[in-house]
């Protein structure tokens, strides 16, 4: 007779997992083990932007599975070349390196910058930024809570306040080679900088011969209403890192860079066994094709609708609503337990996340429709009412709006 504890997990405790288990997805919905249907407004944290069970993506994956699963990067790959060309055309840059994840992409960007620097090694990063959990990208992520227990960190990162151009200027010395930042800080609570901030960073980099590294892991692939978030500022970075939504759930990361950066990289100085896996590449080629101008228009119109609905509630418990496309953060006053609110929304079959300082993080699929926005708003108001966070009178006024 077995004495094994059936509730025991054999996985390392790196995540505080919810007991809900999803077994199927379709469009903007997830389905739990018990058959319950959930509105997915998290997308695996900005990953499944084109929804679940997308038939065109399934066909791309299946066709590739029938032919080739893996081959060494020592050999030529036409699908990789096709995707690299598409990403260069989308970004305005020149060369691409493929890896598997966002943290790998940022590790590669750090190495590329230092190789380009020929002895210069310091990289300026921003407080509250998040670039990943492997050592280089962790060290670049200026959040002390992430560093606890992992000292000594990788040296060579200088942390300054986000959205403060003078802080960057004051941090530059003779050993500085790059500035690395997110166009919008995601994990820090959907923090959107002032309108001219990225343009000012670009100018400072140009004046000091520094590389501008743009971490588009969470913001890229159409999430903000343009293919890359930096395009809202009409600038061109020297290096862009990409992952999450690039293959709609299959592991793939990318570093896109200028010719001048790429020229510093030679065979043997970097690589990845699984980077640019044929199946992920096949799906990503279709993803880039499907994120059309119509999809981006939908991102912007649905963002406007969702934000207007939230703001029309005019609730005193909401401190601020921040949004760029379908990257949305609702910051609540300190007395509201946002993690509990997210749990209550999950109980009511809506999946959202949390981030930063008491922020509800909303990342709907790029293909979301008006009826899904209405479903979210109605459930959101209902949960606030049930939890006594708004009064019935407030809810009725919201409904009238």
Q: Whole-angstrom Cα distance, residue 317 to residue 389?
A: 8
Domains belonging to the chain, first-starting first, are 22-46+297-400 (3.90.1150.10), 57-290 (3.40.640.10)
pLDDT at 5: 62
pLDDT at 390: 77
What is residue 40's three-state secondary structure?
Answer: strand
pLDDT at 152: 98
Closest-CA residue to 190 (of 315, 387, 341, 332): 332
In order, the DSSP letters of 8-25 are ---S-S-S---S--EEEE
Distances 236 to 82, 121, 232, 271, 351 between C-alpha atoms, Å: 22, 22, 11, 25, 34
pLDDT string in tens for the chain (401-residue length): 344 566 789 999 999 999 999 999 999 999 999 999 999 999 999 999 999 999 999 999 999 999 999 999 999 999 999 999 999 999 999 999 999 999 999 999 999 999 999 999 999 999 999 999 999 999 999 999 999 999 999 999 999 999 999 999 999 999 999 999 999 999 999 999 999 999 999 999 999 999 999 999 999 999 999 999 999 999 999 999 999 999 999 999 999 999 999 999 999 999 999 999 999 999 999 999 999 999 999 999 999 999 999 999 889 999 999 999 999 999 999 999 999 999 999 999 999 999 999 999 999 999 999 999 999 999 999 999 998 887 654 544 444 44
DSSP H or E run through 91: helix 78-91
Q: Whole-angstrom Cα distance, residue 69 to residue 100?
A: 15
Closest-CA residue to 137 (of 213, 231, 44, 43): 213
Judge whether 44 and 361 are in contact, CB under 8 Å.
no
């Amino acid at each position: 007779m077995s004495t094994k504890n059936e509730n025991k997990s054999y996985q390392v405790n790196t995540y505080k997992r919810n007991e809900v288990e999803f077994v199927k997805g379709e469009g903007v919905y997830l389905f739990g083990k018990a058959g319950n249907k959930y509105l997915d407004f998290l997308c695996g944290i900005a990953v499944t932007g084109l929804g679940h069970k997308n038939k065109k993506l399934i066909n791309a994956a299946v066709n590739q599975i029938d032919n080739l699963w893996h081959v060494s990067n020592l050999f030529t790959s036409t699908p990789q070349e096709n995707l690299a060309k598409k990403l260069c055309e989308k970004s305005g840059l020149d060369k691409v390196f493929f890896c598997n994840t966002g943290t790998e992409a940022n590790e590669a960007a750090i190495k590329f910058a230092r190789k380009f620097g020929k002895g210069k090694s310091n990289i300026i990063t921003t407080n509250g930024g998040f670039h990943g959990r492997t050592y280089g990208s962790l060290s670049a992520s200026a959040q002390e809570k992430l560093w606890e227990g992992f000292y000594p960190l990788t040296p060579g990162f200088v942390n300054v306040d986000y959205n403060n151009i003078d802080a960057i200027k004051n941090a530059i010395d003779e050993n500085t080679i790059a500035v690395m930042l997110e166009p919008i800080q995601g994990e820090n609570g959907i923090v959107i900088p002032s309108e001219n901030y990225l343009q000012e960073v670009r100018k400072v980099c140009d004046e000091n011969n520094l590389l501008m590294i743009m971490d588009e892991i969470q913001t890229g692939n159409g999430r903000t209403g343009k293919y890359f978030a930096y395009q809202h500022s009409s600038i061109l970075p020297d290096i862009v890192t990409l992952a999450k939504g690039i293959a709609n759930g299959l592991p793939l990361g990318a570093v896109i860079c200028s010719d001048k950066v790429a020229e510093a990289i030679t065979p043997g100085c970097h690589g990845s066994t699984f980077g640019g896996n044929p199946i992920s590449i096949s799906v990503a080629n279709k993803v880039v094709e499907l994120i059309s101008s119509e999809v981006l228009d939908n991102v912007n119109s649905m963002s406007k609708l969702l934000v207007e609905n939230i703001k029309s509630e005019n609730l005193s418990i909401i401190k601020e609503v921040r949004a760029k496309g379908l990257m949305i953060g609702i910051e609540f006053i300190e007395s509201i337990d946002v993690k509990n609110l997210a749990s209550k929304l999950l109980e009511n079959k809506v999946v959202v996340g949390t981030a930063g300082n008491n922020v509800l993080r909303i990342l709907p699929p790029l293909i979301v429709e008006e009826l899904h926005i209405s479903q979210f708003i109605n459930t959101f108001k209902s949960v606030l009412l049930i939890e006594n966070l708004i009064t019935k009178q407030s809810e009725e006024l919201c409904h009238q709006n």
